[in-house]
Amino acid sequence: MAFIKVNLTATVDTIKEAWTKFNNLIDDLLSVSSGKGASQIGIYDSAGNMDAANVEDALAEIYTDHASARTLVGAINEDADTTSGLVWGYESGLIRADNVVVSVLSGTIAITDDATNYIEIKTDGTITKNTTGFSVGRIPLREVVCAGGVQTTSTDKRTFLQAAPADVVIQTSITIANTGLHLLDTNASHDLIVKPGSDLSADRTLTLITGDRDNKLSMDMMLSMFNRAKFTYNGGATAYTVKVGAANYYCKDKLAFWDSELTTAAIGGSPSGDTWVYLCLDYSAITSGTEITNTELAWSVSAPTWNATYKAWMNGDDRCIFAVKTNSGPTTNINVFWHDGGGMVQYDAVDAIFNDTGPATWTTQTVGGMPAFSQKVQVTVRADYAAAAGQVYIRTTGSSETYSKLVGAVDAASIISYNTIDIITNDSQQFDLDTSNTFNVVVYCLGWYFPIGM
């Protein structure tokens, strides 16, 4: 119903009757009934933002237009009906995780007494809390302080705006120039494998392998290895075998790893004495990212060669990781060696490279006590006076230095000197020896060093 005008009649109203009609008008203005009060007050909007004829219709229009905003304001808000003591209740709502919208039902979560509770939501809609601070990758909801079993303060931490990280493009394949790829991650559970193509000499497509090793991504050096194995002599009845400690290697384009010590199969063919035998990763038997067993370890009497593409010593597709020297003894068919996992392999029994009267001019010596891939050897030089005084010199074959490394000297009868040094040989594993006089000289090989790519 609408307001009715106060009509004056020909009869003169009494003052009481006039005030009664006036009071009735005031009652109608104050009424919240439909058709009265605000519904009768005109509204004017010069900007044309509203088309309502009165305040009542205008309010209804505003309420309808802002329904979505009201819903967002209440999304996962604190629910006063279910919040009490050490229980925090929340209303239902929607969250967005990238391009996925997740519906969250109302519920409650227990909070910690005498602490500040940081209540947050994961991208899957799970509500969590901690007493340290809001977590990276989760959306803050509420900061609730509790003391004595009571929630003393409750601060809304929801926000409609969230700073986004820099754009990240995720691909299953990427093409990069052959300048090297560096991947850094300080979290051990975020490892990454990069699988190169078969030819890295030009631009290549690199495939990212996922799902390896306990459903994690695992990172290994693309062209070499992170962890060299510790190799142990395994004599006695198993004299043709070697123990190989846990390690990671990259074999061509496959990751080979093992997390416990392996024992190789016996060297086949009973190689003759003084033969170098090379331990390799059998490329054809390896499944990348799957832990290998001793069946993926293979022996070869063929010496490996340096492969610049894979930055490793290779026997065809197989990667060489170690070498042993055999002998003709009945039980110790592999020369006894010692290795601590580092860069040097030491012999139990020394191998004499030179044992004679010292040459008075530079003479070339070939080291037989080192595998084909090694160029660095440790030697001990013994100089015996034997009726003549003098000095012993060593240099890398190919050097033109007249006096290179002084490695021994004797100057009186009954004097014997010893000196242990490391020598870098040439590619043919040779060094030069010279003495300033003709006295007895012995050069013993104590062990060899791993080169790069081993």
Indicate the residue type of 221. Answer: M
pLDDT at position 229: 92
Which position has the higher pLDDT, 333 or 157?
157
What mean pLDDT is predicted for residues 42-61? Answer: 64
Which position has the higher pLDDT, 204 or 420?
420
What mean pLDDT is predicted for residues 414-433? Answer: 87
Q: Of 188, 113, 117, nearest to 148 (Cα)?
A: 113
CA pair distance 392, 403, nearest whole angstrom: 10
Lowest pLDDT segment from 168-177, 216-225, 445-454: 216-225
Three-state secondary structure of 339-396 = ECCCCEEEEEEEEEEEEEECCCCCEEEECCCCCCCCCEEEEEEEEECCCCCEEEEEEE
Q: Is the pLDDT of residue 160 over 90?
A: no
344-350, long-range: CB < 8 A, 24+ apart? 344/378, 344/447, 344/448, 344/449, 344/450, 345/231, 345/447, 345/448, 345/449, 345/450, 346/378, 346/446, 346/447, 347/445, 347/446, 347/447, 348/233, 350/380, 350/444, 350/445, 350/446
pLDDT at position 206: 42
Band of pLDDT at residue 255, cut at 50, 70 and 90: confident
Band of pLDDT at residue 183, cut at 50, 70 and 90: very low
Indicate the residue type of 381. Answer: V
CA pair distance 206, 278, nearest whole angstrom: 31
User: What is the overall mean pLDDT for the chain?
Assistant: 78
Q: Is the pLDDT of residue 232 over 80?
A: yes
- Within 10 angstroms of residue 325's Cβ, the number of other Cβ atoms is 20
pTM assigned to the model:
0.53
For the chain, the first-to-last Cα distance in angstroms comes to 97
3-class secondary structure, 11: coil
Which position has the higher pLDDT, 434 or 72?
434
* DSSP conformation letters of 204-262: EEEEEE-SHHHHS-----SSS-SBPPPEEEE-GGGTTEEEE-SEEEEETTEEEEESS-E
Give the architecture (CATH level 2) of 73-156: Sandwich (2.60)
For residue range 323-373, what is the model confidence (pLDDT) as tens digits?
Answer: 998 876 544 578 889 999 889 999 888 878 888 888 888 989 999 888 999
Distances in Å between the Cα of 437 and the Cα atoms of 384, 399, 405, 406, 418 are 11, 21, 16, 14, 17
Q: In sequence order, what are the beta bridge partners of 423? A: 377
Q: Are 102 and 95 in contact (CB under 8 A)?
A: yes
> From the centroid of its chain, how far is CA 452?
23
Residue tagged 């229980």 (tokens): 87
Q: Are 234 and 263 in contact (CB under 8 A)?
A: yes
Q: Is the pLDDT of residue 192 over 50?
A: no
Two structure tokens written together for 24? 């009735």
Domain with CATH 2.60.520.10 in the chain: 73-156
Q: Are 157 and 142 in contact (CB under 8 A)?
A: yes
For residue range 361-413, what is the model confidence (pLDDT) as tens digits?
Answer: 898 999 988 899 999 999 988 888 776 788 888 899 988 888 778 888 887 76
* DSSP conformation letters of 199-220: --SS-EEEEEE-SHHHHS----
3-class secondary structure, 1: coil
Angle at 213 between CA 210 and CA 215, to 5 degrees: 55
Domain with CATH 2.60.120 in the chain: 347-449
pLDDT at position 268: 74
What mean pLDDT is predicted for residues 238-259? Answer: 87
Ramachandran angles phi, psi of 442, nearest 5°: -130, 135
pLDDT at position 111: 95
Distances in Å between the Cα of 359 and the Cα atoms of 194, 309, 394, 431 are 54, 42, 12, 14
Band of pLDDT at residue 48, cut at 50, 70 and 90: low
Q: Is the pLDDT of residue 219 over 60?
A: no
3-class secondary structure, 193: strand
What mean pLDDT is predicted for residues 253-276? Answer: 83
Q: Is the pLDDT of residue 212 over 50?
A: no
pLDDT at position 238: 63
CA pair distance 224, 239, nearest whole angstrom: 30
Which position has the higher pLDDT, 264 or 72?
264
For residue range 437-452, what is the model confidence (pLDDT) as tens digits?
Answer: 878 888 889 999 999 8
Q: In sequence order, what are the beta bridge partners of 78? A: 90
For residue range 265-324, what is the model confidence (pLDDT) as tens digits?
Answer: 888 766 667 788 999 999 999 998 789 999 999 999 899 999 998 889 999 999 999 999
CATH for 347-449 is 2.60.120
Band of pLDDT at residue 67, cut at 50, 70 and 90: low
CA pair distance 454, 311, nearest whole angstrom: 9
Distances in Å between the Cα of 339 and the Cα atoms of 277, 293, 368, 440 are 17, 21, 19, 32
CA pair distance 278, 231, nearest whole angstrom: 13
Q: Which residues of 53-71 are buried (b: 16+ CB within 10 A; e: fewer)?
A: eeebebeeeeeeeeeeeee
Indicate the residue type of 359. Answer: P
